[in-house]
Chain A
Amino acid sequence: MANLVSHPDEVRVVSKRFGQGATDIDRYLALDGYQATQKALGMGADAVINEVKASNLRGRGGAGFPAGMKWSFVPKQSPKPKYVLCNGDESEPGTCKDRLIFEHDPHSVIEGVIIAGIAVGSHQGYIYLRGEYRYLIEIMEKAVADAYARGFLGKNIFGSGYDFECAVQTGAGAYEVGEESALMESLEGKRGIPRVRPPFPAVVGLYGGPTVINNAETLANVPHIILGGGEWYAGLGPPKNGGTRLFCLSGSVNKPGVYELPMGYNLRKMIDEVAGGIWNGRKLKAVQPGGSSVPVLTADEVDIAMDFDSVGKAGSMLGSGAVVIIDDSTCMVKYALRVMRFYQHESCGWCIPCREGTDWLKKTLTRFHSGGGVRRDIDNIQYLAENMLGRTFCPLGDAAAMPIISLVKKFRKEFEDHLEGKPCPYEDHGKIGQLPVLTAYDHRAADPWTHAH
């Protein structure tokens, strides 16, 4: 269990019950648990949706789509059952917020799922946990079982006459399944590959039924909105960016951790004060403000408000709220390589530009970083990434391309410093033992097929 961190600027809404033992259902009830659900049952579907709309709650998974609007797309009448899915497939590198919610406040997610169900007229929810979060399965399953035992789930919840079933399911370890339609495929027991859209999940989703799918943090916010009111929640952040946000500060800082800060909090302040500044007396070099899949910001660009719109204006994205902080001892080529290795490994392979683009970029960056780069590689890296951007089947291709494009643009000099067989200037030992020569490249050792079986 991770140690919790805190900072005076924090505004605790969704993290209110962290460290309070709220996994225990009685303790949770003592901390205003399940009151929002009962209130929502009394409000009715339209009032719930209106409240969430008023809160300006935007999706915490990364895209920032207004949650209330998403719910309102679900048709009122449907011949097929409607579903509510909680996307707990938190896989974006640098992101570690949903797991804290599951760990410390599992019932708030269940409540969020029930309330979303009430809002769209669904009677079945699924909480999809990331495959690697094995230790959270027990917590979530116990929470669901406890809720069933108390009659908070199942037939006639809270004696309201409303039925709502909920189940926990885990993934098998694929980043791609964080994409909503791939998650549904996975939940249906198929390969985790995104679906052709339209139709959108709100109309044709899980098992062909209308489906609402929200990030775990989004859903965990919902009970608080119902209890505190949409207006209150909206007021916590700047216009159109309601509420607070769990920011996952990681990288070269003294006090990394998950902090709940109001939307629009200043990024520089976040790094210098909340996270306690750059470690080892080093200097800030770059930041990825929304996880590994967003364009990097240089040290000069961090004086911005952390909300969806302001970060967008600065040329990056707020994404999943994972702020990855990079100090000046980091080789940006190596960083690019590390990012690309992740996406090459996680690309589902469905579409050509993502499958081939990530593979090609990984090969090039591997060779480039180890000293085998040629000048045209730099343009080539940018060319490949730019031709992936916006042309892939799902956003994974964009996620792989955006950081690379920004890295080449903003740190071109570092790429040039690797040319002509020069050793990486950032390697501690200063020298790379052996310069790989292309013709002597051991194809068998580097053959990815050998890993395929």
Chain B
Amino acid sequence: MADVNITVDGRKLTAPAGTLLIEACKNAGIEVPSFCYYPGLSLQGACRMCLVEIAKMPKMQTACTTVIQEGMAVTTTSDTVRQARKAMLEFVLQNHPLDCPVCDAGGECELQDMTFSYGASESRLIDFKNHKEEEQWSPVVFFDRPRCILCYRCVRVCNEGMDVAALGIQNRGSLSLIVPNHGEHLECEECGMCIDICPVGALTSGAYRYKTRPWEMNHVGTICTHCGDGCKTTLGVRRQGSGNQIVRSDNRDKSGINGDFLCIKGRYAFDFVEHPDRLKQPLVRKNGTLTPASWEEALELAARRFREARDIAGGASIGVIGSNRTTNEENYLLQKFARLVLRTNNIDHHRTADYPAFVNALSGHANATASMRDLSSAQAVLLIGNDPTYQHPLLAWQIRTNVRLHGARLYVVNSWPIKLARQAKAFVQIPEGAEGKAAAFLGGDDSAAEALVTDKTTREKLLSFREKLQSEQNLVVIFGSELRGQDLAPLVRSAAAAGAKFICLGDYANSRGAADMGLYPDLLPGYLPLSEAARFGEPWKSVPQQPGMNLEQMAAAGKEHKLRALYVVGSNPLARYDIDPFALAETFVVVEDLFLTETADVADVVLPAACAYEKSGSFTNTCGDLQLLHKAGDCEGVKPDLEIIVRLAERMGFDIAQLVPMGAGGMRADFGESRGVQSGEADRQAIWNRRQGYEPRVSPFNPFAVLEEIQRLVPGYDVGRLELLSGNDVHTATAGQAPGKAEADRSLVPSNDNLFTSGTLGRYSHVLNKVIEHRLGLPNEKKAVVAE
């Protein structure tokens, strides 16, 4: 768009036509205060804080509703403007209680900040302030009416941003109230966006309120550990005892792919870390019962039994199951441990998406995956299967926002009228389980149409749907676990040829990372076939060329007493795959986990692990965006999985330098954080170190040493390190060459999580449980249960 020239306080500014005055000022570093204006939400002009003088206009104008015009001369610093701001604050403070010392928002309150900047130090008020008692609307949402300044941000973010519309306005004038949708309580997605967006302490979080003052927290930016969307979250961490306690999670600074968005899980469900059932000491089975033991004893026992199994019956008698929630570094190291130390390809994880088939279908199309950021600017989106509102809340938010702000066209194919269908330009409802046929039809196979026709969906509707899709440029195709194996290929190939980009939805925080890091019996990291093992270095030449057992085969082998040992890291296959616990009766099972899960319950050795919020490393989200985790919390007695793997290897007599790139011969460069060098200098400093005979890396437990190897060796992960270290997301490529399979992956089991569940982990979140209980008590939910 053409640029427009304006003058603000005598400064000449240029901004694209159509820019709001308040934005033009902000971009030029000129502060125009406001409460009700919020980028991305509809304009209100209600708080009147942004009044400025514009030449040739008789009255002051609100900068938030004024679109800049060529030659506009604006004054933001005159006495009139200053006086108006001061008076506006006096007005808003008329009924606002001055209980800042006990208010949750005190210290990070926009009204407080503005009063400091623009307000009057004395109040003119003699009369009483209106009062109303505080209300609790849901387990996590509290509303303190007197503090509310009626900026309507909460109403708008719920209505426009979330498409939930759970908040409204009741009464009028000074009696106006923000009210929840069901009388005295909320029935909503409990995302907490209303609390987050509240500029004052009117809406407060049941999980955070009265726990701390903002200035008593340190803030650690890391990645959410729940679904596969990879929201950045800023954890508020407070010293407690000898460790750190996580007291809050939000992303108020809008950094990261999610801006300020977080769903209920990201915002509140970090509380599992403090669950009383958390394992804090290793357990060893003695006389049939799991008994607390020392780390020494537990590691020694596990290492000895692994070594025995390997040396007596060979690596093929040992199975390894990795995790969807451990870091890339841990997953990479785990498969390296399995292949080099245990000498087995029996490694698998809980698969929730058919990434190998996806990569295979994409072969020949470099850069054909869409990042989460791409989704907010794509002109058109095709969604087949899945229900992102409940399974991928950020993805759903991105789509809604893109439709609302940029008029993106959304096409939905689903067996159910999912909530996102409301934003859809076109929606076709297909029979359950026909997603594969739909993909075939959209990929050009007309014969597949028969299987899609229902009383709601005619053949003509399907044809016109496909026709509209084919006319779209810049399309992003999203699909869930409904599409697998050969279903994918026709659609992906035909759309990729037209320039489309893709997202294959995996369910957990690092599902994509687990797949990328080669937690497969037949694939190495980067979806490379076993025959490519030598690419990873000299020791890899010994990796067996025969594909190992997958998760179900391992269970079957256990039943036949052919599995001597099983090493389970951060996974609960017994519950997830409904495996008979007696299948593992003869197997020596080692489980690393946070809690005594069904699988841990049958283990011989249980090792307490650190959760994702208690360690550093990296996650790859479902789109393939790589992001760094930073250690925030602390839990006494636990160890990160990375350290446990290294210690096991060491006790098995393996040369650690071959496992973790360290010492003079391994690591080629470091990430700089160990010695505080600038990241751009790291490589040169490493070269210099080596020339001097110094070791570039001394700790084998540093995840960044492993990340360095991943970047060096795993196809697609050779991404900009500077961006990554700055806390940004970096999109990886799918450069692998997974061999295509004729059959669909039967071991693929979607998590079927909704907004309020999160695999095994979610069971241990107090907030999630409270919200689920609250919802079960709601009249509507009760009715639903009865109807079933």
Contact = CB atoms under 8 A, between A and B. Distances in A.
Interface of A: 174, 176, 191, 196, 344-353, 355-360, 363-364, 367, 374, 376-377, 380, 383-384, 387, 390-393, 438, 441, 443, 446-449, 451-452
A155 to B, nearest CB: 34
A191 B127 CA distance: 30
Interface stretch (B88-96, B407-415, B669-677): B88-96
B126 A196 contact: no
Given A347-B173, A391-B48, A359 B83 contact: no
Interface string B282-299: 000000000000000000
B128 A363 contact: yes
29 contacts: A174-B172, A196-B65, A347-B173, A348-B172, A348-B173, A349-B169, A349-B171, A349-B174, A351-B46, A352-B92, A352-B150, A355-B173, A355-B176, A356-B91, A359-B95, A360-B94, A360-B125, A360-B127, A383-B124, A384-B91, A384-B124, A387-B84, A390-B59, A390-B60, A391-B88, A446-B128, A449-B130, A451-B175, A452-B171
A346 B48 contact: no
A406 B29 CA distance: 40
B149 interface: yes
Given A363-B127, A367-B127, A452-B175, 11 more contacts: A176-B172, A344-B173, A347-B172, A348-B173, A353-B48, A355-B173, A355-B174, A360-B127, A391-B84, A448-B130, A452-B132
Given A367-B126, A392-B48, A448-B174, A353 B131 contact: no
A89 B48 CA distance: 27
B566 to A, nearest CB: 62
Contacts of A350: 44, 46
B633 interface: no
A393 B46 contact: yes
Contacts of A364: 126-127
B207 interface: no
A387 B149 contact: no
Contacts of A367: 126-127
B65 to A, nearest CB: 5
B442 interface: no
- What secondary structure prevails in chain A residues at the interface with B? helix
A380 B48 contact: no
Contacts of A377: 126
Contact of B88 (A353, A359, A441, A448): A353
B47 interface: yes
Residue among A196, A358, A380 having the largest count of chain B Cβ atoms under 10 Å: A196
A360 B128 CA distance: 9
B46 A352 contact: yes
B45 A196 contact: yes
A106 to B, nearest CB: 30
B583 interface: no
A203 to B, nearest CB: 14
Nearest to A452: B175
A146 B60 CA distance: 48
Given A196-B43, A349-B174, A191 B126 contact: no
Interface in B162-216: 169, 171-177
Nearest to B84: A391
B51 interface: yes
Contacts of A438: 126
B43 to A, nearest CB: 5
B174 A359 contact: yes
Contacts of B44: 196, 350
A182 B127 CA distance: 31
B557 interface: no
Contacts of A449: 130-132, 175
A145 B44 CA distance: 40
Contacts of A383: 87, 124
A295 B90 CA distance: 24
A35 B49 CA distance: 52
Interface in B111-167: 124-128, 130-132, 149-150
Nearest to B64: A196
Contacts of B126: 364, 367, 374, 377, 438
Contacts, number: 119
A359 B45 contact: no
Contacts of A390: 59-60
B169 A191 contact: yes
B43 A358 contact: no
A387 B87 contact: yes
A359 B130 contact: yes
Nearest to A197: B65
Contacts of B125: 360
Contacts of B132: 449, 452
Contacts of B92: 352, 356
B21 to A, nearest CB: 13
Residue among A358, A384, A390, A449 having the largest count of chain B Cβ atoms under 10 Å: A449
A447 B91 contact: no
Contacts of A374: 126
A283 B171 CA distance: 42
A349 B172 contact: yes
Nearest to B128: A443
A448 B176 CA distance: 11
Nearest to B43: A196
Given A390-B59, A390-B60, A356 B176 contact: no
A375 to B, nearest CB: 12
Contacts of B43: 196
A377 B60 CA distance: 27
A367 B83 CA distance: 27
Contacts of B91: 352-353, 356-357, 360, 384, 387
Nearest to A377: B126
A396 to B, nearest CB: 10
A177 to B, nearest CB: 11
Contacts of A191: 169
Given A356-B95, A392-B48, A345 B173 contact: yes
Contact of A380 (B47, B51, B124, B174): B124
A133 B174 CA distance: 26
Nearest to A441: B128
A104 B322 CA distance: 85
A344 B91 CA distance: 14
B130 A391 contact: no
Contacts of B150: 349, 352, 355
A287 B588 CA distance: 98
A386 to B, nearest CB: 8
A162 B132 CA distance: 56
A352 B47 contact: yes
B174 A352 contact: no
A390 B60 CA distance: 7
B48 A356 contact: no
A249 B46 CA distance: 36
A380 B90 CA distance: 12
A22 to B, nearest CB: 37
Contacts of B172: 174, 176, 346-349
A451 B130 CA distance: 12
A191 B47 CA distance: 18
Nearest to A397: B48
Contact of A356 (B51, B59, B94, B175): B94
A441 to B, nearest CB: 7
Contacts of A348: 172-173, 176
Given A353-B91, A367-B127, A452 B177 contact: yes
A359 B175 CA distance: 9
Given A364-B127, A447-B131, A349 B175 contact: yes
A364 B126 CA distance: 8
A129 B87 CA distance: 36
B565 to A, nearest CB: 67
A348 to B, nearest CB: 5
